[in-house]
A and B are shown apart, each in its own frame.
Chain A
Amino acid sequence: MSSLLTGLECTDSGEKYNPQQVQTYCPVCQAPLISRYDLEAGRRTLDREQFRRRPKGMWRWFELLPVQDPANIVSLGEGDAPLLKVSRLQEALGLKHLFVKDESFNPTFSFKARGLSAAISKAKELGIEKVIIPTAGNAGGAMAAYAARAGLRAHIFMPNDTPHANVEESRIAGATVTLIAGLISEAAGMAGEKARLENWFDVSTFKEPYRVEGKKVMGYELAEAFEWDLPEVIVYPTGGGTGLIGMWKAFAELEALGWLNGKKRPRMVVVQADGCAPVVRAFEAGATFCDFWLNARTIASGLRVPKSFADQWILRVLAESAGTAIAVSDEEILQAQRELAVAEGIFAAPEGAATLAGLKKLVGSGWIRPDERIVLFNTGAGLKYLK
């Protein structure tokens, strides 16, 4: 079993970079790097059904992930979060095929575990000893846990109103936590400065190439669960956008491998909070990048991202998928959180609940048809947000 990783490429210029060396983002274009695999070889040598037979978890897709030596995998059992049919909600909304991918089942109770498992594994493989991250919440806890398991030092910058659980889970795993009076974008500036001055490896969203590789496995899992015929619509809460982009990349890879039965890819839906909706604003304006969102405010801490480093890429996914972007209010998020719990027993994170709030608007507007297969992403556990 060996990874089919062949190299890294700049998402703007296509310039090649060596994955055997520590890489961040393209120093010329200052754009994210993307992992490339020998999918032609994969088409010849891999059988999609072999992955189904392996032990559950993200790393059963090893050949399509960036770690070269399995001994470097740092895992806490992430991946294969359940895809739940939500019949009561579906009926209430007049739909026929509604699902929730419940990522709260991951280690540290959020989807961040996937990306950090991949990033920390690759960091270990490259001999990195200390990692730093700015986070709006769950990524910090996940990085602390995986860094602890890998024996790496961890430093985390968080806004001082980050949910208490994220602070405590980071500290108990041995990470140094710096709370700042500001947003994740400000935390990013401080983390970046410390990384530069003290040689920490910055694991910020898209400022290293591998978190998106862990997140893309959500796309593989969906394809497998739908018997390689992708659903029509994916509704995704979008802060940094790693999962949205990761899944789109996964679908492209599955197409290249020849594993998809249907030809149509899902329409991707970005859901943001109306107090911080840079992607929605740019999408509605037909822009190719986002303006920095001033005065970001929402209870969904994971959505308080004033400008993603991959904003152009997110907007490209929306364009390529004929998708859309929609903003919802905090009141609508809280209402949707209650509905998910009452109707289906899912205590979703506010970010996850936002997808239901967004779905209701899209059904109301007719953008979604009743017979379409729709997947909402609950990105984490509501329990982590209790005061």
Chain B
Amino acid sequence: MNQTILYIEDNPDNMRLVERALESRGYQFLGAVDGEEGLQAAEDHRPALILLDINLPDIDGYEVARRLRAMKTLLYVPIIAITANALKPDAEKALAAGCDVYMVKPINIRELWARVEAYLPGSSIPNESPAPSPL
């Protein structure tokens, strides 16, 4: 419980959405609004998982991923790349840079929960409201 997840993202709407979603499941949330701030936060807090937007205002997410992987303490921290562009080269570059998986915006919250839970099993508040059948 209460494992820290770092989200590196410059879009405040996405930041709020993901913060609310993760905190509702019991995770500690940590936000960083650009790459440099994200790298510093990662080094300082050693999060259990990192959500990484690829299109950042200072250094791009690929470079952030490479630098994260270069830190010995973060070598095995799962990194989920998130981008607005469902571009195949983007996905391949993200994976090559050290990200573990690739998600495309808009971020479906139920999928995000499932992906985070897959990397941090048993770390969240159990989901009391599984998706109802919509039909």
Partners in one complex: yes
User: Which residues of A pack against B, CB within 8 Å?
Assistant: 9, 11-14, 25, 27-31, 34, 182-183, 185-186, 188-189, 192-193, 248-249, 252, 288-289, 291-292, 294-296, 306-307, 309, 312-313, 316-317, 320
Task: Specify the chain B residue showing the minimal Cβ separation from A13.
Answer: B129
B109 touches A31 (CB 8 A): yes
24 contacts between A and B (CB under 8 A): A25-B106, A28-B17, A28-B109, A30-B17, A31-B109, A34-B134, A34-B135, A182-B88, A183-B86, A186-B85, A188-B86, A189-B84, A192-B84, A248-B135, A288-B114, A289-B111, A291-B101, A294-B88, A294-B91, A294-B92, A295-B88, A309-B108, A312-B108, A320-B133
Query: Considering the chains assembled together, what is the distance between the CA atoms of A249 and B135 in angstroms?
Result: 6
Q: In the assembled complex, how far is the CB of residue B9 from the closest CB belonging to chain A, in whole angstroms?
A: 14
Q: Encode contact with A along B17-47: 1 for CB under 8 Å, 0 otherwise.
A: 1000000000000000000000000000000
A306 / chain B contacts, CB cutoff of 8 Å: 86, 88
Tell me if B104 is interfacial: C-beta within 8 Å of chain A.
yes
Contacts of B131 in A (CB 8 A): 11-12, 312, 316
Is B104's CB under 8 angstroms from A30's CB? Answer: no
For the complex, is B102 an interface residue (Cβ under 8 Å from A)?
A: yes
Is the CB–CB distance between B134 and A11 below 8 Å? yes
- A289 with B108, Cβ < 8 A, contacts A189-B84, A189-B85 known: yes
B135 contacts A307, C-beta separation under 8 Å: no
A9–B114 Cα gap in the complex (Å)? 22
List 18 additional contacts besides A34-B135, A309-B108, A312-B111; criterion CB under 8 Å. A12-B108, A12-B109, A25-B106, A27-B17, A29-B109, A30-B107, A30-B108, A182-B87, A183-B88, A185-B86, A186-B85, A186-B87, A188-B86, A189-B104, A289-B110, A289-B114, A292-B86, A294-B88
The binding surface of chain A is classed by DSSP as: loop
Across-interface contacts of A292 in B (CB, < 8 A): 86, 91, 102-104
Cβ proximity bits B91-103 to A, threshold 8 Å, 1 near / 0 not: 1100000000111
Chain A residues whose C-beta falls within 8 Å of the C-beta of B121 in the assembled complex: none
A67 CB to closest chain B CB, in angstroms?
21
How far, in Å, is A277 (CB) from chain B's closest CB? 16
Q: Name the one of A31, A34, A249, A320 contacting B108, with C-beta atoms under 8 angstroms.
A: A31
Q: Is the CB of B133 within 8 A of A189?
A: no
A29 & B102 in contact (Cβ 8 Å cutoff): no
- Whole-angstrom CA separation of A9 from B86 in the bound complex: 27
Known: A193-B84, A252-B135. A30 touches B109 (CB 8 A): yes
Among residues 121 to 135 in chain B, which have CB atoms less than 8 Å away from a CB atom of chain A? 129, 131-135
A29 near B110 with CB under 8 A, answer yes
Q: Are A307 and B109 in contact, CB atoms less than 8 angstroms apart?
A: no
Chain A residues with Cβ below 8 Å from B106 are: 25, 30, 309
- Complex CA distance for A75 and B96, rounded to whole angstroms: 49
- Within the complex, what minimum Cβ distance (angstroms) separates A241 from chain B? 13
Q: Is the CB of B132 within 8 A of A14?
A: yes
Find out whether the CB atom of B84 lies under 8 angstroms from the CB atom of A312: no
Nearest residue (CB) in B for A36 is: B134
Residue of B nearest to A30 (CB): B106
Contact in complex: B17, A312 (CB < 8 Å): no
Question: In the complex, which residue of chain A has the Cβ closest to the Cβ of B134?
Answer: A11
A11 to B88, CA, bound (A): 28
Of A11, A13, A25, A186, which is within 8 A of B86 by CB?
A186
Residue of B nearest to A287 (CB): B114
Chain A residues near B114 (CB-CB < 8 A): 288-289
Which residue on A lies nearest to B110, using beta carbons?
A12
Q: How far is the CA of A313 from the CA of B134 in the complex (A)?
A: 8
Q: How far is the CA of A312 from the CA of B85 in the complex (A)?
A: 20
Q: Given the complex, which residues of A lie within 8 Å of B108, measured CB to CB?
A: 12, 29-31, 289, 309, 312
CA distance A29 to B109 in the complex (A): 5
Report A-chain residues with C-beta under 8 Å of the C-beta of B101.
291
Chain B, Cβ-Cβ closest to A29? B109
In Å, the complex CA distance between A309 and B105 comes to 10
Query: With the chains together, A249 CA to B134 CA distance in Å?
Result: 9
Contacts of B111 in A (CB 8 A): 289, 312
Query: What distance in Å separates the Cβ of B32 from its nearest Cβ neighbour in chain A?
Result: 21
A181 to chain B, nearest CB (A): 10
